[in-house]
Amino acid sequence: MISHLGSYSLIFCTIFAFLIILQSAKLIGNQSKIFPKKIYTIITLQLFFVIFSFSCLLIAFVSSDFSNITVYNNSHTEKPFFYKISGVWGNHEGSLLLWLLVLVLFLFLFILDTKNYDNKYKLLTVIFQEIIILGFLLFIIITSNPFDYIFPVPLEGLGLNPILQDPALAIHPPILYIGYVGTSLIFSSSLAAVINNTVNSEWAKQIKKWVFLSWIFLTLGIMLGSIWAYYELGWGGFWFWDPVENVSLMPWFCLTALLHTILVLEKRNALKNWTIVLSIATFSLSMSGTFLVRSGILNSIHTFANDPSRGVFILTFLFFLIFLAIIVLFIYSENDKKTSNNFNILSKETAVLVNNWFMMYFLSVVLIGTIYPIFLEVFTNEKISVGPPFYQKLMIPFLIPFFIFMSFGPRVKWINDKLKKINYTQIIVFISSLIIAYIIFTNSSVSYLFSSFLIAASIFLVLNSLRDFFSKSIQIPQKISHFSFSILILSILLNGIYSEEFNSNMKVGDELKFIDKTIKFKGINFDEKDNYKLLRGDFEVIDSGKNTLNFNPEIRIYNQPVISTSEADIKTNLFNDNFIVFTLLKDNEIFNVRYQHKPFMIWIWISIIMLAFGGTLAVIKYGK
Amino acid sequence: MVNKKIKLFLILSSLIFIFFTFYLGLNKNNYYTTENIVYKKIENFESYEFFSNKKISFKNISPDKKYIILNIWSSWCLPCRKEHKNLIKLRENIKVDLIGLNYKDKFENAKSFLSELGNPYDIILKDKNGLISIEIGAYGVPETYLINNINKKIIKKYLGPINEENVKEIQSLAKQ
């Protein structure tokens, strides 16, 4: 019953989408300042029906209605309530419904937000956004209807993959989606502004809070995914350059570039075409993310279903949107020669451009690493996978100039700045970062010349961003975000260079030495929980200072579906994470044990949260 | 103006190129040949034969066969019941041995399941506590694996009950 209601309301939404597009196209010539009431009403109705349809699926999940095939495939009566809810978007069909919900919601908020703006611009934005909405509605209804039902009704569901039963992962998709979908609005409104010939400071001022908003959610979404990978997968890292991770990182680079460029457009009314290209690219990358992940062209944990018809649909739709954007851009874009893009070498405009070059470089590296294997397989039938060394080799050398540039960039003034003769503070900062890097390296076992330069450069960045806090010309959100970013970089580097790992097979009672530590496997005990059985290990790690840490990692064997997962036990403090995870090898006797020492892990999460917090301050400020 | 047209042409043609590459990439994923073994190797395990309770090592199963099919099933599993007629159909049309892995089951129940619905299996192995299935990498019951019996690598894996299309696919894959 409830599934039918959900299904019908999706059909209503499709009709509304058609209506809105037709009506808006008809009213575009209208000079009135007031947004047409009719369209506003239909958009509200559309929002209502999408929310209704989403609630239907939610109710089906919560009440374990197994006549619904999505619920049958992804839920189970014994599943905890919280995960029944997150099950709604923990699958292909439901997650698309969530996409749709955010798309429609954002359009609605956009209309509310732009009360005083030109009607033509708004109507054009509505049209582009509704084209995207329509595409997704058709995609859902034709290839992935979440409300399909089965008969006879099964007594029990197939359960949700227990790896996905994790609080960070439960909220990871919605947060990431808000980021992805937010870029759709930037896409629609930038095309509208191009046609309306209003790509100017005023437009930049209006759209920039949407850029920041998407960026915040994208940043947090990526972080949640990576927290999950770190705690749940137990591979002992937070970033693996997995294609699916890369796919979320690419729009992030693009959006970060846009975030800076939009300020140039606002303040200086320059870089117009570039801003539009970035807006289009960001959304296209978000969409390709969905395509690559959902079509099954990449094999990963995110691949819900290998249904080629879905892949073809998203691919066609994605390219349709890109073609549309390019054609709009070519017909309507004004000749850039009229606006001056000739900046002084020493000006904030140039600084932002340099930032963009770096972002574009990092983006291209990730893009090539991600799609090259697909191309290679198509043309030569050879399967390869591009691993971390590729990304590290291509990115790390560029980090040093990037850090140094970022240390100076924020302080450069608009239009034309003057180079001061000798800047004593700068010299002090430079020397102190060299000293700190030297101290770090003399006190550690690792010593590569290159890493010491890298660390020195990142410390230089940290000190400079810290110094920026006293600068009057830089705004607070920027101070916070840049400082957090420098901390993030430093923690990632230190973490990468100083992580230690021990991996061995052990029996109960074994005691092994690892550098200056002793690892004892004291015992295991069995336990039974609601929907899984568990084996709990008892480990003790004694370091050279005779400090003892106890670890109780678990191996969980879930009932439905039967799958075993390893839960790492992680001891976190401000300076490092200690981490033990173990897996069963044979007969409940021999285990594979992995111990890891990861410095500054917590700072990676803290700095990302601070980074997003800086963005939030900016949104609050610009929202006024 | 001419310049602009050339630019547009270049961008659009490269986009079309990318589109078709992705399109081909999509189709690529759908057929598996035995050369493209992407899945993991099944490590050797020991189990007991269902009826005789004789100890059997996985590596010694059907030594003369190039392929084997491993089906994880259980009498308490409803989808297995639904799947069973397809397994029987599969066994009738194929020269490959079908190995059953009886997952966390009671002997009596499993026996009556087979006498009621028929026994398509050449050999049935027991997985009393479910550990073998976990080692293989199973998510639940039923699951079916087409395995290259020479190097013990999984060629294709079917989660959930197999349908008639899967039967046809397995037949065509195992012929190669």
Give residue-wise pLDDT tens across range B28-60: 643 333 333 345 677 788 888 888 888 888 888
Instruction: Tell me the HSE value of A2 on the side-chain side, using a 13 A CA sphere.
Output: 19
Tell if the CB–CB gap between A383 and B36 is shorter than 8 Å: yes
Residues A141 and A216 in one domain: no
Task: Identify the H or E element spanning A501.
Answer: strand A500-507
Mean local confidence (pLDDT), A603-623? 91
**DSSP states of A26-59 as a string?**
HHTT---SSPPHHHHHHHHHHHHHHHHHHHHHHH
Q: How many residues does chain A have?
A: 624
DSSP A253: H
Using CA coordinates, name the residue in chain B closest to A328: B8
- Measure the CA dihedral A24/A28/A33/A37, to 10°: -20
Separation of CA A240 from chain center: 14
The reply to whether A395 falls in a domain is no
Residues A91 and A230 in one domain: no
Smallest CA–CA distance, residue A537 to chain B, in Å, is 18
Give how far Cα B110 sits from Cα of B13, B102, B159, Å. 61, 8, 21
Considering only CB atoms, B15 lies closest to which of A319, A330, A562, namely A319
Mean local confidence (pLDDT), B155-173? 80
The reply to whether A362 falls in a domain is no
**Does the pLDDT at position A619 exceed 50?**
yes
Q: Which two tokens stand for residue A302?
A: 């995110």
Tell if the CB–CB gap between A322 and B133 is shorter than 8 Å: no
Q: Ranked by mean pLDDT, which of A20-34, A123-137, A140-154, A410-424 comes out on top?
A: A123-137
- Please answer whether residues A343 and A274 qualify as being in contact, where contact means their C-beta atoms are separated by less than 8 angstroms: no
Tell me the C-alpha distance between A445 and A597, whole Å: 14
φ and ψ of B169, to 5 deg: -65, -45
Q: How many residues does chain B have?
A: 176
Q: How wide is the angle at C-alpha A65 spanned by C-alphas A59 and A68, nearest 5°?
A: 100
**Does the pLDDT at position A446 exceed 80?**
no
Tell me the C-alpha distance between A376 and B95, whole Å: 36
Tell me the C-alpha distance between A466 and A448, whole Å: 27
Q: Which residues does B158 contact at the CB level (< 8 Å), separation at least 6?
A: B143, B144, B145, B166
Residues A94 and A179 in one domain: no
Neighbours of A417 (CB within 10 A): 16
Separation of CA A18 from chain center: 31
pLDDT top residue among A331 and B133: A331
Separation of CA A1 from chain center: 36
Mean local confidence (pLDDT), A507-528? 84
| CA nearest neighbour of A93 among A170, A145, A50 | A145
Residues A173 and A157 in one domain: no
A-chain residues near B21 (CB < 8 A): 374-375, 378-379
Residues of B with CB under 8 A from a CB of A: 4, 7-8, 11-12, 15, 19, 21-30, 36, 38, 78, 103-104, 130-131, 133-134, 138-141, 160
Smallest CA–CA distance, residue B28 to chain A, in Å, is 7
φ and ψ of A28, to 5 deg: -60, -40
The position carrying tokens 């999950």 is A228
pLDDT of the residue at A339: 56
Tell if the CB–CB gap between A319 and B160 is shorter than 8 Å: no
Tell me the C-alpha distance between A124 and A119, whole Å: 8
The amino acid sitting at A232 is E
Task: Examine the fold and report which residue of A288, A311, A341 is the final residue of a domain before the chain moves on.
Answer: A341
**Does the pLDDT at position A623 exceed 60?**
yes
A-chain residues near B38 (CB < 8 A): 299, 383
Helix ranges (DSSP H) in A114-200: 119-143, 167-196
Tell if the CB–CB gap between B130 and A291 is shorter than 8 Å: no
Tell me the C-alpha distance between A281 and A223, whole Å: 22
What are the pLDDT digits (tens) for A485-517?
999 999 998 888 888 888 777 888 888 887 778
Considering only CB atoms, B134 lies closest to which of A308, A315, A557, namely A557
Task: Examine the fold and report which residue of A165, A195, A227 is the final residue of a domain before the chain moves on.
Answer: A165
Cα Rg of chain A (Å, integer): 26
Residues A3 and A84 in one domain: yes
Tell me the C-alpha distance between B28 and A527, whole Å: 45
What are the pLDDT digits (tens) for A330-348?
888 766 555 556 677 778 8
A-chain residues near B157 (CB < 8 A): none
Tell me the C-alpha distance between A383 and A373, whole Å: 7
Considering only CB atoms, B28 lies closest to which of A330, A377, A564, namely A377
Tell if the CB–CB gap between A383 and B138 is shorter than 8 Å: no
Chain B CB within 8 Å of residue A312 CB: yes
Chain B CB within 8 Å of residue A330 CB: yes
Helix ranges (DSSP H) in chain B: 2-28, 78-92, 107-117, 131-136, 164-175
- Please answer whether residues A250 and A290 qualify as being in contact, where contact means their C-beta atoms are separated by less than 8 angstroms: no
Smallest CA–CA distance, residue A301 to chain B, in Å, is 13
B-chain residues near A561 (CB < 8 A): 139-140
Residues A119 and A189 in one domain: no
pLDDT above 70 as % of chain B: 89
Tell me the C-alpha distance between B145 and A102, whole Å: 40
A-chain residues near B32 (CB < 8 A): none
Tell if the CB–CB gap between B26 and A563 is shorter than 8 Å: no
The reply to whether A33 falls in a domain is yes
Smallest CA–CA distance, residue A561 to chain B, in Å, is 5
Tell if the CB–CB gap between A377 and B25 is shorter than 8 Å: yes
pLDDT above 70 as % of chain A: 90
pLDDT of the residue at B31: 37
ipTM: 0.72
- Please answer whether residues A154 and A44 qualify as being in contact, where contact means their C-beta atoms are separated by less than 8 angstroms: no
| CA nearest neighbour of A582 among A596, A561, A571, A572 | A596
Write out the E strands in A508-586.
511-514, 517-528, 532-542, 548-551, 554-558, 563-567, 569-572, 576-586
The reply to whether A332 falls in a domain is yes
Cα Rg of chain B (Å, integer): 22
Task: Identify the H or E element spanning A596.
Answer: strand A590-599
What are the pLDDT digits (tens) for A393-411?
888 889 989 998 888 878 7
**Does the pLDDT at position B176 exceed 80?**
no
Residues A109 and A236 in one domain: no
pLDDT top residue among A193 and A150: A193
Tell me the C-alpha distance between A305 and A300, whole Å: 11
- Please answer whether residues A117 and A34 qualify as being in contact, where contact means their C-beta atoms are separated by less than 8 angstroms: no
The reply to whether A419 falls in a domain is no
Task: Identify the H or E element spanning A601.
Answer: helix A601-623
What are the pLDDT digits (tens) for A458-491?
888 898 888 888 877 788 898 999 999 999 999 9
Q: Which two tokens stand for residue A370?
A: 């991600």
Task: Examine the fold and report which residue of A306, A341, A376 is the final residue of a domain before the chain moves on.
Answer: A341
pLDDT of the residue at B34: 33
Using CA coordinates, name the residue in chain A closest to B28: A378
**Does the pLDDT at position A587 exceed 70?**
no
Using CA coordinates, name the residue in chain A closest to B39: A299
Smallest CA–CA distance, residue A437 to chain B, in Å, is 44
Smallest CA–CA distance, residue B131 to chain A, in Å, is 9
Residues A64 and A181 in one domain: no
Q: Which two tokens stand for residue A2?
A: 């409830």
pLDDT top residue among B175 and A113: A113
Residues A256 and A207 in one domain: yes
Neighbours of A413 (CB within 10 A): 12
- Scanning A243-302 for CB atoms below 8 A from B yields 291, 295-297, 299
DSSP B40: P
**Does the pLDDT at position A17 exceed 70?**
yes
Residues A196 and A156 in one domain: no
- Please answer whether residues A348 and A271 qualify as being in contact, where contact means their C-beta atoms are separated by less than 8 angstroms: no
The reply to whether A297 falls in a domain is yes
Residues A31 and A89 in one domain: yes
What are the pLDDT digits (tens) for A63-78?
888 888 888 878 887 7
Tell me the C-alpha distance between A367 and A192, whole Å: 28
Smallest CA–CA distance, residue B55 to chain A, in Å, is 16
As a whole number, the mean pLDDT across chain A is 84
State whether residue A559 is helix, strand or coil. coil
**Does the pLDDT at position A18 exceed 90?**
yes
Using CA coordinates, name the residue in chain B closest to A371: B22
Residues A105 and A196 in one domain: no
Tell me the C-alpha distance between A410 and A482, whole Å: 9
- Please answer whether residues A508 and A521 qualify as being in contact, where contact means their C-beta atoms are separated by less than 8 angstroms: yes
The reply to whether A540 falls in a domain is yes
pLDDT above 90 as % of chain B: 2
The amino acid sitting at B112 is S
Into how many domains does chain A fold? Answer: 3
Bridge-based pairing state of the strands B97-103 and B123-127: parallel
**Does the pLDDT at position B11 exceed 80?**
yes
Considering only CB atoms, A308 lies closest to which of B26, B78, B138, namely B26
User: Is the overall model pTM greater than 0.95, yes or no?
Assistant: no
Range of the domain at A588: 500-602
The reply to whether A387 falls in a domain is no
B-chain residues near A319 (CB < 8 A): 15, 19
Bridge-based pairing state of the strands A532-542 and A517-528: antiparallel
A-chain residues near B8 (CB < 8 A): 326, 330
The amino acid sitting at A359 is M
Tell me the C-alpha distance between A291 and A310, whole Å: 9
Smallest CA–CA distance, residue A563 to chain B, in Å, is 5
A-chain residues near B128 (CB < 8 A): none
Mean local confidence (pLDDT), A423-452? 76
